[in-house]
C-alpha cells in the first residue's frame, strides 16, 4: 500500500486489540474505540485460560501496553460510535468521547482519588462481588492508566457537593467541567469486535439466581478464583464467606435452549472444566461436579484436558440438565434435583455453591452499529458474515469486517478470535489494494 | 569498563503497589550510597509521561551512562524505559530493571523486610548494570515474496490473499492437482453447497493470478536461510527448481485416519467404510436406494494414550516416533486422544444428504458426546426433524460390528439411556475417523525446526495468543497442519497467516534480536554440540570452528550452557554480568 490507510476498530477486547496491532504493524493508522474506560475486554476478567492455564491478564497486559505505545494506534477509550456514513475507502465516522472528568495528559494513575472518594458502587470488573468508587480505575492493569469519574454516582454531579478528588489530586487532573467531545474520523475500513454479553440467568426461575445467594454465574466465579480478585482466590460462598464443601457447575444455562438461545455457546464446557480443575487446585478438599448434556471438549488440547480433569483431579461429570435448585433456608446449602440420564435415576445432590455456565449472547450495541453502518445482523443478533464458509470475516457491507465473539459463537475461543482478527486485516488489505489498482 | 560508570537509579512507588509495602524513600537513600551511583530519586509512577521525561532529562543533566529502574516487570515495561533511555541519548541496552513489585512488594507483607529485600534487588541490578555493554539491533531486509507449501483450501486462500496484496507467491503442491483433502468432499456444512462451488473458484484464481506461480507435482527438498531471506530448493517432476522468498506459509494439511484392518471390521466386512468413503459414494451417486445406515463417531479419536499437556513442545527427537505412529495408524490399533472436532457435523451432514435423497432411509448416529458447537446446533435439529436417529454409546463399551443374515451388518452396543444392549441390522456402517497429522507436515517441521505438539501437529508459538506464528520467525501456519479445523476455520487461519506474513513483507525491513550468542573462535574446538542442540539452526560448524548466524539466533542460551569450552557467551547475559548480580545478592556492600 502506498499511502497510509486508516481503519476504525470498534471494541477493545482481545479480538479488537489483535486486529489493531496487526493493522498497525501492517502500516494502517488505527483508531481503536472502546466504550468502557479501559481496553482489555472479557479476557482481562478471566483468571486463567484453558488448557494451558496461563494467567489471562498476564498474557494480555503486554498486548494492551503495546496498543497504548504503538505509534500507529490512537486509543479512544470511554468512547462510542455515534454515526457512520460513506463506503470502503472513505468512511466518515463520528465518535463521541464521553467526559471522563479526568484529564488524560495530567493523570498519573496514582489512585489517591479512588482511595478517598466516599461513594461506593458495585465493581463491574469484579462482577459486583466487590465495590469500586465513583472515581475509579476499572482494574489494576487498566490501559490507559487513568481514573474516570462516573457521573451517575459522583456526589458532585448528583448533589453538587464533595469534590474531594479535586482537592487531593496532586497532578491537578480532575476537571468537573469537561464536556463530551465529538470526533469525526475519516477511515478506509471498519473492523467490528464488540464481543459478547452474558445471559442473565434470573430468567430461569427454577435455578434461583438472584434469589439464592450461593447460586452464582461462571463470570462471577472467574473473579472469585482469581488471586487478585475480591477473595484473593479463595472460593468463599457469598452467603456466609465460608468455603463450600462442594461446588456444582451447570452447563447450557440459557444456551441450547429454545426458550432463550438455541445455539451452543461453544466455550462453557471448556471453561467449566478449567474452573473445576482450578477449584481442586486451590482447595483439594472441595468436591466438584459438572452437569452437562454433551461434554463439548473440542479444539486443541481440550479432550486431553477433560480426561485429565477426571483422572487426575477427580472432577465428577453427571449427564443431566437439572430441573430445579432449592435452598435450605438455614444453611443456605442448595439441593439440586436431577435425572442422571446415564443411570436413569432421579436424585438430589446437596452442595454449598452452584455455578451457572450461562450463554454468551450478542451485545445490545450490535443493533445500533448495524443500523449506523448498514451491516446485517443474523437471526440471533450477532453480525452476519457475507458467506458462512468462504467469507467468514466479511460483513455485509464492503470494507466492514468482524472478528471475535461478535460474529457469533463460531469457534468462540481466544485463539480463533486472534485468527479472525488477522483474517479481517488481511481482507481489508486485499480489498484496499484492489481498489488502488482499479 | 571503558568509561567510569555513572549510574542513575529511579525507584518507583507504583502508587501504593510498591510504596504501600516498601519504604521507597529509604531505598532511594540506600541507592545513593552505592558506588558509581551519581543520581537516585523516586517517582509515583516512573512509567508516566512525567517519569519517562525525568529519565530522559536526568541522563543528559547528570551525564548518566547506566540507568536502573526499580519498579515492576521487564515483561511489560522494559521496552518503555528503553525508549526513554534512547531519547536521553543512551544505548537502550545500558538499562537495567530491578523488579521490586512482583518479586517483592506484591509477595511480602512485612514492610521492614520487604524494604531490605528491595535494597538487595536494587544493589544486584546496579552491580549488573556496571558490566552492561551497548548492543545494536541489526536491520534485516525482507524479500517481498512468499512460499506457500500445500495447495489445499488453506494454501490456496493464503496464496491468493498475499497475491491480492501485491506480493509474489510460489504455491507448491506435491500432488498433480490443487485442492487437497477438500477435493474428496461432496458438500460442505452447514450450507450444503457443493464443494466444487467453493473450491474451484479458488483453484482457478490461484492458477490465473499474475502474482502466483503454481508448482504442482512438486516437493520441497531443502530450505535454507532465515526470516526475510529463505532459499528454497524444490523438486518438480524430477527437476530441481529454486527460489528466494521472504516468508513461508505452511499449509500441509492433515490426513484422514483409516482404521487398521479388522478394527470395527473395517476392510473385513463389506459395507463397513469410513465416513469419507461414504461421502465419496454419495458424491458419485452410488447410493442408489434407501438403506439402513449406522454411523459410529470417535473411531480412532478420543482413545489411546493421553499425554499430559506439559509435554507440549516435543522437538525433533519425537518426530520419528510420531511418524511411525501415523504410518502405523493404518496397521496398528493405536488411536488419537484428541477430539477431531469436525466429525459430528460431517456425520450429520451426510445423514441429512441421505435422508433428503431417500426419506425412507434409516440413519442412526452413534455418538459419545454430540459436539455441534455454535450455530451447528441448528444443523443437529434439522437432522432430527428428518428423523435421523441419535443414540449414545459409552467409551467403555465401543459398538461391535458383525455379519447378519442376508448380506447385512449387525451393530451391537450398549445404550445408556435405555440401560440395555441394543443391536441394529443395517446395510452400511460409516466410521467417523479423525483428521490426523500428515507425514509431509512432520517431515517439513523437522526440516524447518518447527516443534510438534503432543499429537504431531505443527506447534504454534503460543496456543492462545499466537496461533498462526511458529517459533521460527517468518514461518506461519495455515489450516489443519496445526490441528483439526473445518473449512471455514481453515480459511480464517489462512487469511490470518497471510496477514502475519504481509506485515513482515510490507515493512520491508525488521530489526532482529540484539541479544545473540557469540563464539570466541580462539576457544572453540569445533565439537559441534552447539550445532546439534540449537533449536533455531543458528550454529554452523565449518573448518573446525562454530559461527553464529545472527539472524537465526534468538539468544536462548542453550549453546552457552552446553559449550564444554566455555567458548560461547550470550550478549547482555555474560557470565560477568550474571555473576555480578549473584555475588551482590549475598553481600551487604556492592563489590
Query: What per-residue confidence (pLDDT) applies to A3?
Result: 63
Phi/psi for B511 (5° steps) reads -90, 130
Q: A 37-96 residues with CB below 8 A of B?
A: 49, 51-52, 54, 59-63, 65, 69
Query: What per-residue confidence (pLDDT) applies to B313?
Result: 37
Q: How long, in residues, is chain A? A: 438
Cβ-Cβ contacts under 8 Å, B47 against chain A: 145
Exposure string over B12-50, b if 16+ CB within 10 A, otherwise e: bbbbebbbebbbbebbbebbeebebbbbbebbbbbbbee
Using the Cβ of B502 and the Cβ atoms of chain A, whether some distance falls under 8 Å is answered with yes
- Beta bridge mates, A349: A336
Query: What per-residue confidence (pLDDT) applies to B588?
Result: 65
Mean pLDDT of all residues in B278-289 = 95
Q: Which helix (H) or strand (E) holds A27?
A: none
Distance in angstroms (rounded) separating the CA atoms of residues A225 and A231 = 8
Distance in angstroms (rounded) separating the CA atoms of residues A356 and A321 = 12
- Mutation target to probe the A interface, by most A beta carbons within 10 A, among B53, B373, B414 is B373
Partner-chain contact A264 B44, CB within 8 Å: no
Question: Strand, helix or coil at B305?
Answer: coil
Query: What per-residue confidence (pLDDT) applies to B308?
Result: 34
The contacts of residue B579 (CB under 8 Å, 6+ apart) are none
Q: Which helix (H) or strand (E) holds A148?
A: strand A148-149
Residue A47 vs residues A43, A44, A381: alpha-carbon distances, Å: 8, 8, 28
- CA angle B330-B336-B340, nearest 5°? 105
For domain A6-98+180-195+363-437, the CATH architecture is: 3-Layer(bba) Sandwich (3.50)
Cβ-Cβ contacts under 8 Å, A294 against chain B: 369-371
Binned at pLDDT 50, 70 and 90, residue B36 comes out as very high
Residue A411 vs residues A12, B480, B485, B492: alpha-carbon distances, Å: 19, 15, 10, 11
Binned at pLDDT 50, 70 and 90, residue A411 comes out as low
Tell me the ipTM for this assembly.
0.96
pLDDT over 70 percentage in chain B: 94
Helical spans, DSSP H, in A70-154? 112-116
Q: Considering only alpha carbons, which residue of chain B is nearest residue A295?
A: B369
Q: In this predicted structure, which of A72-81, A404-413, B503-512, B536-545 has the lowest mean pLDDT?
A: A404-413
Q: Which of A383, A422, A424, A404 is nearest to A13 (CA)?
A: A404
- pLDDT tens for residues A140-164? 889 998 999 999 999 999 999 999 9
Mean pLDDT of all residues in B557-561 = 94
- Mutation target to probe the B interface, by most B beta carbons within 10 A, among A66, A304, A311, A319 is A304
Partner-chain contact A304 B454, CB within 8 Å: yes
Distance in angstroms (rounded) separating the CA atoms of residues B383 and A379 = 20
Distance in angstroms (rounded) separating the CA atoms of residues A220 and A231 = 11
Cβ-Cβ contacts under 8 Å, B497 against chain A: 422
Partner-chain contact B493 A419, CB within 8 Å: yes
pTM score of the predicted model: 0.91
Cβ-Cβ contacts under 8 Å, A18 against chain B: 465
Q: Considering only alpha carbons, which residue of chain A is nearest residue B158?
A: A426
Q: B 297-316 residues with CB below 8 A of A?
A: 301-302, 306-309, 312
Mean pLDDT of all residues in A107-129 = 92
B12 to chain A, minimum CA–CA distance in Å? 11
Using the Cβ of B462 and the Cβ atoms of chain A, whether some distance falls under 8 Å is answered with yes
- pLDDT tens for residues A234-283? 999 999 999 999 999 999 999 999 999 999 999 999 999 999 999 999 89
Distance in angstroms (rounded) separating the CA atoms of residues B583 and B402 = 74
The string of DSSP codes covering B266-301 is TTTSTTEEEHHHHHHHHHTT---S--EEEEE--SSB
- Mutation target to probe the B interface, by most B beta carbons within 10 A, among A293, A303, A361 is A303
Distance in angstroms (rounded) separating the CA atoms of residues A44 and A78 = 17
- Mutation target to probe the B interface, by most B beta carbons within 10 A, among A422, A424, A428, A434 is A422
Mean pLDDT of all residues in B326-353 = 80
The string of DSSP codes covering B562-591 is H-TT--EEETT--HHHHHHHHHHHS-SS--
Exposure string over A23-61, b if 16+ CB within 10 A, otherwise e: bbbbbbbbbbbbbbbbbbbbbbbbbbbbbbebebbebbb
Q: Could you tell me what percentage of chain B is helix, strand and coil, using 3-state DSSP and rounding each to the nearest 5?
A: 35, 25, 40
pLDDT at B325 exceeding the cut of 70? no
Phi/psi region, residue A359 (left: phi>0; alpha: psi -120 to 50; beta: rest), is beta
Distance in angstroms (rounded) separating the CA atoms of residues B428 and B270 = 8
- pLDDT tens for residues B99-123? 999 999 989 989 999 999 999 999 9
pLDDT over 90 percentage in chain A: 86
- Beta bridge mates, B293: B363, B428
A211 to chain B, minimum CA–CA distance in Å? 30
- pLDDT tens for residues B203-214? 999 999 999 999
B408 to chain A, minimum CA–CA distance in Å? 30
Mean pLDDT of all residues in B272-279 = 97
Using the Cβ of B370 and the Cβ atoms of chain A, whether some distance falls under 8 Å is answered with yes
Query: What per-residue confidence (pLDDT) applies to B82?
Result: 94
Closest CB to B503 among A22, A304, A341: A22
Let me know if domain A200-359 sits in CATH 3.40.50.150.
Answer: no
- CA angle B191-B195-B198, nearest 5°? 80
Partner-chain contact A110 B496, CB within 8 Å: no
Partner-chain contact B48 A108, CB within 8 Å: yes
Distance in angstroms (rounded) separating the CA atoms of residues B472 and B494 = 18
Distance in angstroms (rounded) separating the CA atoms of residues B582 and B125 = 10
For chain B, the average pLDDT equals 91
pLDDT at B359 exceeding the cut of 60? yes
Using the Cβ of A25 and the Cβ atoms of chain B, whether some distance falls under 8 Å is answered with yes
Query: What per-residue confidence (pLDDT) applies to B307?
Result: 39
Q: How far apart are the first and last CA of chain B?
A: 14
Query: What per-residue confidence (pLDDT) applies to A52?
Result: 78
> Quick check: bond before A144 cis, omega within 30?
yes
Query: What per-residue confidence (pLDDT) applies to A159?
Result: 95
Specify the long-range contacts of residues B84-89, CB closer than 8 Å, at least 24 apart: B84/B52, B84/B53, B84/B55, B84/B56, B85/B55, B85/B56, B85/B59, B87/B52, B87/B56, B88/B55, B88/B56, B88/B57, B88/B58, B88/B59, B88/B60, B88/B64, B89/B59, B89/B60
Query: What per-residue confidence (pLDDT) applies to B309?
Result: 33
Q: Check: CB of residue A386 under 8 Å from CB of residue B488.
A: no
Residue B427 vs residues A16, B189, B285, B557: alpha-carbon distances, Å: 51, 25, 17, 62
Query: What per-residue confidence (pLDDT) applies to B17?
Result: 81
Specify the long-range contacts of residues A231-239, CB closer than 8 Å, at least 24 apart: A231/A129, A233/A47, A233/A282, A234/A282, A234/A283, A235/A279, A235/A282, A235/A283, A235/A286, A235/A353, A237/A213, A237/A332, A237/A352, A237/A353, A238/A129, A238/A213, A238/A214, A239/A213, A239/A214, A239/A332
Cβ-Cβ contacts under 8 Å, B308 against chain A: 304, 308
Binned at pLDDT 50, 70 and 90, residue B306 comes out as very low
pLDDT at B316 exceeding the cut of 50? no
Binned at pLDDT 50, 70 and 90, residue A58 comes out as confident
Closest CB to A303 among B302, B492, B499: B302
Query: What per-residue confidence (pLDDT) applies to B331?
Result: 38
* Neighbouring C-beta atoms of residue A155, cutoff 10 Å: 15
Query: What per-residue confidence (pLDDT) applies to B327?
Result: 59
Same CATH topology for A6-98+180-195+363-437 and A200-359: the answer is yes
The contacts of residue A359 (CB under 8 Å, 6+ apart) are A198, A199, A252, A253, A254, A255, A257, A260, A261, A265, A268
Q: Which of A146, A141, A147, A145 is nearest to A62 (CA)?
A: A141
pLDDT at B33 exceeding the cut of 90? yes
pLDDT at B570 exceeding the cut of 90? yes
pLDDT over 90 percentage in chain B: 76
- Beta bridge mates, B243: B232
> Quick check: bond before A165 cis, omega within 30?
no
Using the Cβ of A359 and the Cβ atoms of chain B, whether some distance falls under 8 Å is answered with no
Query: What per-residue confidence (pLDDT) applies to B50?
Result: 78
Binned at pLDDT 50, 70 and 90, residue B590 comes out as low
How many Cα atoms sit within 13 Å of B223 on the Cβ side?
29
Distance in angstroms (rounded) separating the CA atoms of residues A120 and A114 = 10
Closest CB to A109 among B15, B79, B492: B15
Q: Check: CB of residue A191 under 8 Å from CB of residue A402.
A: yes
pLDDT at B95 exceeding the cut of 70? yes
**Residue B271 C-alpha from the chain's centroid:** 40
The domain limits of chain A are 6-98+180-195+363-437, 112-168, 200-359
Using the Cβ of A118 and the Cβ atoms of chain B, whether some distance falls under 8 Å is answered with no
Amino acid at each position: 500500500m502506498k499511502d497510509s490507510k486508516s481503519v476504525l476498530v470498534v471494541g477493545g477486547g482481545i479480538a479488537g486489540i489483535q486486529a489493531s496491532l496487526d493493522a498497525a504493524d501492517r502500516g494502517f493508522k488505527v483508531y481503536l474505540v472502546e466504550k468502557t474506560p479501559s481496553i482489555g475486554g472479557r479476557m482481562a476478567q478471566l483468571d486463567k485460560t484453558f488448557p494451558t492455564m496461563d494467567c489471562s491478564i498476564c498474557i494480555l497486559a503486554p498486548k494492551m501496553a503495546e496498543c497504548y505505545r504503538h505509534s500507529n494506534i490512537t486509543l479512544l477509550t470511554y468512547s462510542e460510535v455515534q454515526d457512520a456514513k460513506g463506503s470502503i475507502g472513505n468512511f466518515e465516522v463520528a465518535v463521541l468521547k464521553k467526559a471522563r472528568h479526568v484529564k488524560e495528559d495530567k493523570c498519573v494513575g496514582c489512585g489517591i482519588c479512588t482511595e478517598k472518594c466516599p461513594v461506593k458502587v458495585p465493581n463491574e470488573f469484579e462482577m459486583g462481588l466487590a465495590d469500586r468508587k465513583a472515581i475509579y480505575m476499572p482494574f489494576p492493569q487498566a490501559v490507559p492508566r487513568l481514573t474516570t469519574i462516573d457521573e451517575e454516582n459522583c456526589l458532585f454531579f448528583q448533589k453538587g457537593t464533595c469534590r474531594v478528588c479535586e482537592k487531593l489530586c496532586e497532578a491537578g487532573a480532575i476537571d468537573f467541567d469537561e464536556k463530551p467531545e465529538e470526533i469525526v474520523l475519516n477511515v478506509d475500513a471498519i473492523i467490528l469486535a464488540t464481543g459478547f454479553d452474558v445471559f442473565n440467568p434470573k430468567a430461569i426461575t427454577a435455578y434461583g439466581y438472584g434469589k439464592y445467594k450461593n447460586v452464582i454465574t461462571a463470570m462471577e466465579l472467574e473473579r472469585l478464583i482469581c488471586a487478585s480478585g475480591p477473595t484473593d482466590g479463595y472460593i468463599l460462598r457469598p452467603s456466609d464467606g465460608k468455603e463450600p464443601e462442594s461446588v456444582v457447575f451447570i452447563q447450557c444455562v440459557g444456551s441450547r435452549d429454545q426458550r432463550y438461545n438455541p445455539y451452543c455457546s461453544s466455550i462453557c464446557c471448556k471453561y467449566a472444566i478449567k474452573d473445576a480443575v482450578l477449584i481442586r487446585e486451590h482447595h483439594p478438599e472441595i468436591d466438584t461436579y459438572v452437569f452437562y448434556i454433551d461434554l463439548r471438549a473440542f479444539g486443541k488440547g481440550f479432550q486431553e484436558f477433560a480426561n485429565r480433569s477426571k483422572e487426575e483431579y477427580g472432577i465428577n461429570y453427571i449427564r443431566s440438565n437439572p430441573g430445579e435448585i432449592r435452598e435450605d433456608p438455614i444453611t443456605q446449602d442448595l439441593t439440586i434435583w436431577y435425572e442422571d440420564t446415564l443411570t436413569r435415576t432421579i436424585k438430589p445432590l446437596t452442595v454449598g455453591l452452584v455455578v451457572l455456565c450461562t450463554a454468551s449472547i450478542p451485545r445490545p450495541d450490535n443493533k445500533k452499529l448495524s443500523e449506523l453502518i448498514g451491516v446485517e445482523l443474523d437471526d440471533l443478533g450477532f453480525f452476519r458474515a457475507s458467506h458462512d464458509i468462504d467469507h467468514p470475516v466479511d460483513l455485509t457491507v464492503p470494507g466492514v469486517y468482524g472478528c471475535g465473539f461478535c460474529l457469533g459463537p463460531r469457534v468462540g475461543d481466544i485463539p480463533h478470535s486472534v485468527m479472525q482478527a488477522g483474517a479481517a486485516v488481511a481482507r481489508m488489505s486485499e480489498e484496499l489494494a484492489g481498489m488502488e489498482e482499479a | 569498563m571503558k568509561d567510569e560508570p555513572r549510574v542513575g537509579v529511579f525507584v518507583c512507588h507504583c502508587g501504593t503497589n510498591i510504596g504501600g509495602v516498601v519504604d521507597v524513600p529509604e531505598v532511594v537513600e540506600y541507592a545513593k550510597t552505592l558506588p558509581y551511583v551519581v543520581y537516585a530519586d523516586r517517582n509515583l509512577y516512573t512509567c508516566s509521561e512525567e517519569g519517562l521525561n525525568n529519565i530522559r532529562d536526568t541522563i543528559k543533566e547528570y551525564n548518566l551512562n547506566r540507568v536502573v529502574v526499580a519498579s515492576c516487570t521487564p515483561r511489560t515495561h522494559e521496552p518503555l524505559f528503553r525508549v526513554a533511555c534512547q531519547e536521553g541519548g543512551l544505548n537502550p541496552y545500558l538499562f537495567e530493571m530491578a523488579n521490586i513489585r512482583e518479586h517483592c512488594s506484591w509477595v511480602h507483607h512485612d514492610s521492614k523486610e520487604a524494604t531490605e529485600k528491595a535494597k538487595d534487588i536494587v544493589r544486584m541490578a546496579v552491580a549488573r548494570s556496571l558490566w552492561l555493554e551497548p548492543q545494536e539491533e541489526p536491520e534485516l531486509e525482507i524479500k517481498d515474496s512468499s512460499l506457500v507449501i500445500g495447495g489445499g483450501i488453506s494454501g490456496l486462500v493464503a496464496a491468493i490473499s498475499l497475491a491480492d496484496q501485491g506480493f509474489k507467491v510460489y504455491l507448491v503442491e506435491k500432488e498433480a492437482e490443487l485442492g487437497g483433502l477438500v477435493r474428496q468432499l461432496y458438500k460442505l456444512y452447514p450450507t450444503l453447497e457443493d464443494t466444487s462451488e467453493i473450491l474451484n473458484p479458488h483453484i482457478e484464481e490461484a492458477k490465473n493470478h499474475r502474482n502466483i506461480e503454481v508448482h504442482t507435482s512438486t516437493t520441497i527438498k531443502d530450505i535454507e536461510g532465515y526470516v526475510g531471506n529463505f532459499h528454497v530448493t524444490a523438486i518438480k517432476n524430477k527437476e530441481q527448481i529454486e527460489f528466494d522468498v521472504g516468508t513461508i506459509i505452511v499449509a500441509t494439511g492433515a490426513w484422514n485416519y483409516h482404521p487398521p484392518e479388522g478394527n470395527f471390521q473395517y476392510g473385513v466386512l463389506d459395507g463397513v467404510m469410513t465416513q469419507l468413503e461414504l461421502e465419496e459414494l454419495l458424491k458419485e451417486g452410488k447410493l442408489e436406494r434407501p438403506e439402513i445406515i449406522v454411523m459410529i463417531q470417535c473411531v480412532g479419536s478420543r482413545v489411546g494414550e493421553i499425554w499430559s499437556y506439559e509435554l507440549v513442545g516435543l522437538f525433533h527427537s519425537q518426530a520419528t516416533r510420531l511418524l511411525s505412529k501415523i504410518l502405523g495408524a493404518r496397521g496398528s490399533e493405536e488411536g488419537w486422544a484428541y477430539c477431531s472436532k469436525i466429525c459430528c457435523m460431517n456425520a450429520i451432514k451426510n445423514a441429512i444428504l441421505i435422508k433428503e435423497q431417500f426419506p425412507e432411509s434409516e440413519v442412526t448416529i452413534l455418538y459419545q458426546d454430540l459436539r455441534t458447537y455454535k450455530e451447528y446446533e441448528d444443523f443437529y435439529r434439522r437432522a432430527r426433524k428428518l428423523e435421523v436417529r441419535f443414540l449414545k454409546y459409552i467409551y467403555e463399551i465401543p459398538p461391535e460390528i458383525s455379519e447378519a443374515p442376508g448380506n447385512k451388518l449387525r451393530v451391537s452396543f450398549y445404550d445408556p439411556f435405555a440401560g440395555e444392549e441394543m443391536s441394529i441390522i443395517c446395510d452400511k456402517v460409516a466410521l467417523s475417523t479423525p483428521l490426523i497429522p500428515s507425514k509431509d507436515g512432520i517431515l517439513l517441521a523437522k526440516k524447518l525446526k518447527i516443534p510438534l505438539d503432543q499429537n504431531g501437529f505443527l506447534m504454534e508459538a503460543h496456543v492462545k495468543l499466537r496461533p498462526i506464528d511458529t517459533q521460527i520467525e517468518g514461518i506461519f501456519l495455515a489450516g489443519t497442519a496445526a490441528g483439526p479445523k473445518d473449512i471455514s476455520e481453515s480459511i480464517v487461519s489462512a487469511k490470518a497467516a497471510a496477514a502475519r506474513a504481509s506485515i513482515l513483507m510490507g515493512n520491508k525491513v525488521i530489526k532482529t534480536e540484539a541479544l545473540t550468542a557469540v563464539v570466541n573462535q580462539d576457544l572453540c574446538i569445533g565439537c559441534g554440540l552447539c550445532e546439534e542442540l540449537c533449536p533455531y539452526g543458528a550454529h554452523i560448524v565449518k573448518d573446525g570452528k562454530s559461527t553464529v548466524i545472527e539472524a537465526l539466533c534468538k539468544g536462548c542460551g542453550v549453546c552457552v550452557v552446553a559449550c564444554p569450552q566455555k567458548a560461547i557467551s550470550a550478549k547482555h547475559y555474560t557470565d560477568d554480568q550474571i555473576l555480578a548480580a549473584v555475588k551482590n545478592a549475598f553481600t551487604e556492600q556492592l563489590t
